[in-house]
Amino acid sequence: MSRAMPEPGENTHRTEPDPRVTGAIRYAQDVELPDMLYACIVRSPYAHARVLRVDTSSLPADVVALTPDDVRALGLYGCQIKDQQVLAVERALYIGDPVAAVAAASPRAAREAAELIEVDYEELPAVFDAVEAMQPGAPLLHEDLAISDNDAAYFGMRPEPQRNVCHHFRIRHGDIEQGFAEADVIVEETYRTPSAQHVPMEPHACLARWTADGRLEVWTGTQTPFNLRMDLAGIFGLPQERIRIIAPPMGGAFGSKTFVRYEAIVACLARKAGRPVKLVLRRDEEWLTLNRHPSTIHVKLGARRDGTLVAKQVTCWANTGAYADCGPGVAQKMGFASPGPYRIPHVWVDSYCVYTNLPSNGAFRGYGATQAVWASERTMDLLAERLGLDPLELRLKNVLVDGDRYCTGEVMHDVHFADCLKAVAGQIGWHEGRRGKGLAVLLKGMQTPSRASIVVEANDDGSYTVHCATAEMGQGAWRAIRMLAAEQLGVPVERVHFPVPDTDIVPYDTRTTSSRSTYMMGRALVEAVRQLKENGELGYGECVNEGGLDPDTGQGIASTHWHQGAAAAEVRVDEETGKLEVVHLHTAIYAGRVVNPPAAQLQNEGSMIMGLGSALFEEITFAEGQVTNANLSDYNIPAADDLPRITYDLIERPGAEIHGLGETALPPVPAAIGNALFSLGIHVRDLPLTPERVLEASERRRVRSAAPV
């Protein structure tokens, strides 16, 4: 069953106006406490430098300063690799690395005070490219790479400290040499994707205070309250229960508000000040906080003359910047998404997560899949051209179907890749002529293993309260969970409350990432409601998905549940200027069972639009490690008048599992647009598809076609 484009007015009516239309919603940046101070960060102007001296002697007396000496004795942290201290104590590793911080009575006083701190540095050699950073003799960022005890370090990691590699993930499936020997045709190409900024409309914001009995309380916009609590516990040497994280709704996150961002600095300032301290980032600081991994991906793909795929070798270099953050996880997902949803008997993948002197890169809507799909799906079209096959037919011939094994060895169920491909091809008019048209398919894993739990409580007034750690960042998770609970409890949704998550109250949850929350929490809820109905008071439910991959072979269970989708694009190119115009963009996403149709549609539309930005113009530019477009005038994000015709199908199946839709439609969009360009003979390897790149590629084609054969 396919849901057509939404009609307005089909949602349920509520009595109170939504706090988002009245402006009454309170985000993390709106939290205030009496007597609080405001923080400002002092950052390194060097990409790699020894921090020699931090001088705070010219600060006014009422300003609290945090320097390396204050944090030297605190624990190392890092959600996957413990490679970070609260401030850059010995060496600053990127332009923007926090070396000190202040807290003052107003944001303005804090900014002025931060200017008064003097820091002496000794500049060191730096490296910015991931491939270069792995070469012998490259500057080494971290000496030791201890694997974190945080729950976010959920898979086997293979750091190689002497060459800036914090994780090397492998897939070894079949015999790659034999595979290529069996191939009639082999295509090979190297692709690059740039760093990108999440640009949540609300910047990172957090507030910390210490209670009289020495507990730490933090209000922060976070997708990962429990992972954050674990790392803070390690930093301060406290039992986790002595730390309380309260996670108000966020004005957008897209992966950026994860793990420890500024919470540790603000907590240190609050402890030193003996008062609550709040930080709201300036916009330009977002580019110095967390971005998307730039990637270099080499693909070698072999097939028989009839198009049957026989071998694929992929090498990914994921540039994680100065600190690993969840880069190892991103590199791993990039690695296991890169074979694509195809039956390939011989697969060999090496995916490296590499340190460089750039700001840290971490979770970003798509989580490695955007990069992998760009490389993988562009290569499918290279192969189709070489074989003289229709790119759709080539994909349909090889695409995974129910019961097939993926290259990780797991058997695939509830598989809809072919449906998605056929749907997008139909909508884009594929069979009426393929010029200017392109398509791409995506497979993306969900966080595996992970655990979600939920408590449902009956209130005296006949209403219910759901206690659950799921973060709300605009994806509508709180409402979806309320709707699911209401449905199971047999009450209207207004009778189900969802208070702001507070780790003192809510049960454990892995985190709100990888589009897993509605699916996992929905399952936990079934048990919680069943228990509640039994005892009339309280029910607890839990959902665990087990699995994981052997990091040395990539065999095991990559995901208990696969996000599946396809995109198709129709483009026009002005070959004089290189200007690329997307005329029509269509995606078809396997949605399983949809809980909240307007929210599902919005998630899908939002993913497509973000994918369009990634395809056409989003790129963080650097000059020797310095971000050169850290503002919304130089870094463009899609606006209403940038959009082409956008349509989509959410493919539903009655009785199916819920499928998270937060990011499925993003990764195939750039690849579909790139393939549409390729159908015009314009082969662009690197994102974004700027006029310069398009022009350069069409020049190359002209030269090639003019050359004597």
Partner 1 sequence: MAAMEIHFTLNGQPVAVQAEPDEMLLEVLRRELGLRSVRETCGLGICGACTALLNGQPISTCILLAPLAEGCEITTVEGLGGHHPVQRAFEEVQAFQCGYCTPGMILTIKALLEEQPAPDEETIRRALGGNLCRCGCYLKIVQAAQRAAALLAEERRRQPGPGAAPVS
- Ranges within 466-485 binding partner 1 (CB under 8 A): 473-476
Min separation Cβ 644 and ligand FES, Å: 19
Q: Which residue has the tokens 């430098």?
A: 49
Minimum CB distance to ligand FES smaller for 31 or for 609: 609
Q: Based on the number of CB atoms within 10 Å of its own CB, is 213 exposed (0-12), middle (13-18) or buried (19 or more)?
A: exposed
Min separation Cβ 203 and ligand FES, Å: 11
Query: 410 CB contacts (<8 Å, ≥6 apart)?
Result: 547, 556, 557, 558, 559
Distance between CA atoms of residues 269 and 262, nearest Å: 11
Single-letter code of the amino acid located at 135: Q
Which of ligand FES, partner 1, none has residue 87 at its interface (CB below 5 to 8 Å by kind)? none
Instruction: Write the binding mask 450 to 489 for ligand FES: x where contact by CB under 6 A, - elsewhere.
Output: ------------------------x---------------
CB 456 within 8 A of CB 526: no
- Ranges within 201-230 binding ligand FES (CB under 6 A): 201
Which of ligand FES, partner 1, none has residue 203 at its interface (CB below 5 to 8 Å by kind)? partner 1
Question: For residue 144, what are the CA distances in angstroms to 159, 165, 261, 319?
Answer: 9, 11, 21, 18
Q: Is 19 in the site for ligand FES (CB under 6 A)?
A: no
Distance between CA atoms of residues 73 and 235, nearest Å: 9
- Ranges within 167-206 binding ligand FES (CB under 6 A): 201
Part of the chain binding partner 1 (CB under 8 A), chosen from 5-13, 44-52, 486-494, 503-511 = 5-13
Q: Is 307 in the site for ligand FES (CB under 6 A)?
A: no
Min separation Cβ 203 and partner 1, Å: 8
Distance between CA atoms of residues 288 and 44, nearest Å: 11
Under rule CB under 6 A, how many of the chain's residues touch ligand FES? 3
Min separation Cβ 666 and partner 1, Å: 10
Q: Is 26 in the site for ligand FES (CB under 6 A)?
A: no
Instruction: Write the binding mask 89 to 118 for partner 1: x where contact by CB under 8 A, - elsewhere.
Output: ------------------------------
CB 666 within 8 A of CB 370: yes
- Ranges within 593-622 binding partner 1 (CB under 8 A): 598-599, 601-603, 605-610
Minimum CB distance to ligand FES smaller for 577 or for 631: 631
From 194, 234, 252, 302, residue interacting with ligand FES (rule: CB under 6 A): 252
Min separation Cβ 112 and partner 1, Å: 12
Secondary structure of 59-120 as H, E, C letters: CCCCCEEECHHHHCCCCCECCCEECECCCCCCEECCCCCEEEEEEECCHHHHHHHHHHCEEE
* Number of Cβ atoms within 10 Å of the Cβ of 156: 16
From 250, 483, 549, 594, residue interacting with partner 1 (rule: CB under 8 A): 250
Q: Is 704 in the site for partner 1 (CB under 8 A)?
A: no
- Ranges within 634-693 binding partner 1 (CB under 8 A): 637-641, 643, 646
Minimum CB distance to partner 1 smaller for 72 or for 283: 283
Which of partner 1, ligand FES, none has residue 249 at its interface (CB below 5 to 8 Å by kind)? partner 1
Min separation Cβ 252 and ligand FES, Å: 5
Q: Return the residue nearest ligand FES (CB atom).
A: 201
Distance between CA atoms of residues 567 and 439, nearest Å: 6
CB 104 within 8 A of CB 269: no
Q: Is 146 in the site for ligand FES (CB under 6 A)?
A: no
Q: Which residues of 629-644 are buried (b: 16+ CB within 10 A; e: fewer)?
A: bbeeeebebbeeeeeb
Question: For residue 302, what are the CA distances in angstroms to 347, 393, 397, 407, 469?
Answer: 10, 16, 14, 15, 46
Q: Tell me the sheet residues that pair with 545.
A: 450
Which of partner 1, ligand FES, none has residue 599 at its interface (CB below 5 to 8 Å by kind)? partner 1
Distance between CA atoms of residues 404 and 406, nearest Å: 7
Min separation Cβ 333 and partner 1, Å: 22
CB 76 within 8 A of CB 85: yes
- Ranges within 185-244 binding partner 1 (CB under 8 A): 198-203
Q: Which residue has the tokens 């914090």?
A: 166
Q: Binding residues for ligand FES, per CB under 6 A?
A: 201, 252, 474
Q: Binding residues for partner 1, per CB under 8 A?
A: 6, 8-9, 11, 14, 17-27, 29-30, 198-203, 249-252, 254, 282-283, 473-476, 598-599, 601-603, 605-610, 631-633, 637-641, 643, 646
